[in-house]
Amino acid sequence: MRTEEDLLAIGGPGGALEAFVEAKKNGLVRAIGVTGHHDPAVLTRAVQEWPVDAVLLPVNPVEEVLGGFLTRTLAAARQKGIAVIGMKILGAGHFILPELGVTPELLIRYALSSGITVAIVGCATAEEVRTLAAAAAQPPLAEQEKSRLLHIFQPYAARLAFYRGVI
């Protein structure tokens, strides 16, 4: 989901959303989800207006600095009571900055402290799976840790949100 045109094409008469709703009604699927990582306003509208059960959205410090997905879309999903699936947690590895203390564990803890239902993180090795599993067992981020993390990303957030396109 990227644009207003996508919203109209998918959600309008004869759009794909009609087929999804019919499939759910007939027991072919249990849930309908929507995703987007380009424009938070578009994804928020889909969450608010469509009969969806889940939303997949970017959850990382860059997004909190920029606002949108974590301020509007997440709030709309919570208000509606639907599942929130976090993605882009490590920013394809670009957000991992060991020299500044930004580790995969810290980014996972950040995401899990954001009020999401589940976090989806790509792993390439068994060691990465072990690291991420261990991070999930850690306590939520303290406010001081969160502030420090956001401060690190503040100057670079717009450039690091590569998945949004032009900001």
* Residue 118: partners with Cβ closer than 8 Å, 6 or more residues away: 83, 85, 86
Beta carbons within 10 angstroms of residue 128's beta carbon: 14
- Mean pLDDT value across residues 1-29: 97
CATH among 3.20.20.100, 3.40.190.150, 3.40.640.10, 4.10.520.10 for 4-159? 3.20.20.100
Check whether 167 has a pLDDT greater than 70. no
Q: Are 123 and 90 in contact (CB under 8 A)?
A: no
Looking at the chain, the whole-number percentage of residues with pLDDT higher than 90 is 87
Give me the torsion for CA of 120, 125, 127, 133, rounded to 10°: 20
* Residue 45: partners with Cβ closer than 8 Å, 6 or more residues away: 7
Q: Residue 118's pLDDT band (boundaries 50, 70, 90)?
A: very high
Q: Which residue has the higher pLDDT, 59 or 124?
A: 59
Q: What is the pTM of this model?
A: 0.93
Element (H, E) at 8: helix 4-11
Q: What was the pLDDT predicted at 18?
A: 98
Residue 112's Cα: distance from chain center in Å? 11
Q: What was the pLDDT predicted at 125?
A: 84
Q: What was the pLDDT predicted at 124?
A: 81
Beta carbons within 10 angstroms of residue 120's beta carbon: 13
Nearest residue to 163 (alpha-carbon basis) of 74, 36, 44, 55: 36
Q: Which residue has the higher pLDDT, 162 or 28?
A: 28
Q: What was the pLDDT predicted at 151?
A: 98
Cα-trace Rg, the chain? 17
Q: Residue 108's pLDDT band (boundaries 50, 70, 90)?
A: very high
